[in-house]
Structure 1
Amino acid sequence: MNIAKEVNPHFEDFLFDWDSKLYFLVGGYGSSKSYHVALKIVLKLLGERRTALVVREVYDTIRDSCFSLFREIVEDMGLDAMIAFNASPMQMRFRNGSKIVFKGMDKPAKLKSINNISLIWVEECSELKYAGFKELLGRLRHPTLPLHIILTTNPVARSNWTYQHFFERRGLDDKDFYRRRVMRDGNIYYHHSVADDNLFLPQDYIAQLDEMQGYDADLYRIARLGQFGVNGKLVLPQFEIMPHNEVMAVVEEIPRKYLRVGMDFGFETSYNAVVRMAIDHERKWLYIYWEYYRNHMTDDETADALEEFVRTRECIKADSAEPKAIRYYQKRGFNMVATKKSNGGSRHSRLDNTRKLKRFRRIICSDACVHCIEELQDLTYATDRDGEIIPDEFNRDAHTFSSLWYGLDDYDVVDIKHKFTKEAFGL
């Protein structure tokens, strides 16, 4: 069967390259990376009988993105007679027996019912947790066919697992990647694209992207240049990382009354997060020096893991919205108390807690607290549809951030704009 389809030249080799197991595509807005991935999969499944899985973090987002994109391609190529679409559950069935199944990682149990998956596409892979990515790798198996997983994303913060996994841990320089644009490292194929690579994109759209350079440098870097970095306005611009031994040398000199512990409860998608911190009261510096960060742990398992707190009798401030859990830990011998009512629940309290942390002149985190670094270093404010900052919402559910809130429940940070007294002026 001969199929004629005009494509963007920058994606021609990618469309027919099946020599790697992993394909990692990063691009700016409108670069057409998702379109060419969908086309690549359609062509592959027309030629080989396979079961492919298309995944996004949230199932409800698939219908208006990946599913509609496949339908557009099939209709444009006149393949309606060969490929049927099923809306519920979302599937595509090919006349040769190939099949595409659409699932969300918010319903992971439903992944277990799919057998012989030899090809996976993860759209907006940066939205997934790293554990979700590893789960998908485990689902990729077939007795005879070569296995492939394709990941697409707009660039996000360097703290995201995608950057950590595909660049930092492999010792690769992302700037070199932007220069080379297409490269292979081991079994991973890397592809970078920007709006200029999409010859079908209207020039006024590109002009809109160019205008961002004048009013939003971060969004311009992501949307126009397709490069990793901080995405949005930082919540904690004073956050910094210091070697653990240097942090502990300072912490050991801080009076015990300025040591704090906060705990955020979680289980399935949330995490049990415990953070030890120390306050330099005179300079208004906050040190973060120890963390515990786990999920899928019952209260008794977590209590066993945190047994040292029973011996040290450190006071743990925990979310008042979980009185049953707090009572359990108290019975186990923990010196755990609830925070003020609705400490992190109401919008007012979330704003107050965020403002409190922003008043610290420096927030210094030990390099041993990897989850605090991952969640706090590039934590940014969420924005509304007009691009305005939402001061009590963030780009991620940062459990360590909540732990800091709770631990500092009874501490008031003097506003950086000092309230001068007569005595300060010698009057």
Structure 2
Amino acid sequence: MTKSGATKKSQSLSEPKSAPKDDLKSLPMPEVEKRLASSPDGLSQDEAQKRLSQYGPNEIEEKKTNAILKFLSYFWGPIPWMIEAAVILSAVAQHWPDFAIILILLLANAVVGFWEEHQAGNAIAALKAKLANKAQLKRDGKWISLEARELVPGDVIHLRLGDIVPADARLLESDPVEVDQSALTGESLPVTRKPGEAVFSGSIIRTGEIDALVYATGKNTYFGKTTQLMQEAQSPSHFQRAVLKIGNYLIILAVTLVAIIITVALFRGDPMLITLQFALVLTVAAIPVAMPTVLSVTMAVGARLLAKKEAIVTRLAAIEELAGVDVLCADKTGTLTQNKLALGDPFCVNGIPADQVIFNAALASRADNQDTIDLAVLDGLKDKDALKGYDVVHFQPFDPVHKRTEATVKGEEGKPFKVTKGAP
């Protein structure tokens, strides 16, 4: 009993620490700092290097498929096998025109399918492009700028207006910040995040600046788990199952008929060459030689049209799958949006013209902040030069307490006045 317990204890001491778990995004901050063996002062460079070798770089591992093996995979399957059998039988029977036509169709299907999927690009690479490349972090008590891939759990990072959050982190003490999570959730409007709350890799800081404690990097982040699910989602589509079913049926039919022909020919003593020629005719007739090529070309055209609308098609079979959708369910915001806000028709009281309402709202907006509401209001101005004669002396950005923006403006007469936009 004692020996077994000692062995178990020895093994647990020799094993590396497990990666931070999901509960780190909701535990009290003192507990998070204790688990990560860190503090608002950050890590030392030596400790960071140890953790980098333990947890790995802060990046999403991409499964790369050998291009040659990928191309050869288009020659593997029930229908390709039948076409390849027809090619061999044509060569044996020396029917060279049939041999050439069938071989060209076989190669055309493989080339079209491989090239279109290659052109479509990799969705994981497209998602990785949204991640931050640089990060400002504290090492040995000093602020430095490093590649985002160098981040490790326990690092303290500084987030400013416009920064892409490089890893999952908990916010340290400061004023609340506005975070754009549209890339992750589809929500067009920024959300308020207070000290102690979590921000996720890939989101963008829209207002404010704050320090944060990293608790998850790479594949352990919310963003990383999403992309991992994309890589693992390789179940056969309805289209692929239908084609396989047709292929299996035709294979069984062709093999059965050829076996009957050869058996009868041997029983009757017919010449083997004539028997093979007859078997070839039957096999070619039973095989939909052009079907894979026609299907690949049709779906490739669809993929090109979607590509023009900036949609990423990783597998051509997904085109048919999407076309078979009867009901598409989305949440209240509709994640299939352009992530843009548009200004509706203003509601006015006391005879104030709509243009005047939009003009005053535009004075209380700032394009530099890239705030989605401000940009929508500014786009609603009919005369883009209307603001030129006005000087904004002081601008108070939106904050979650007052829930409005305010601006002190000097008009063309030089007299200052105030405008506000937001909650009454």
TM (norm. structure 1) is: 0.16
Structure ranking higher in helix proportion = 2
Q: Give the structure with higher Rg (CA).
A: 2
The alignment's TM-score, normalised by the length of structure 2, stands at 0.16
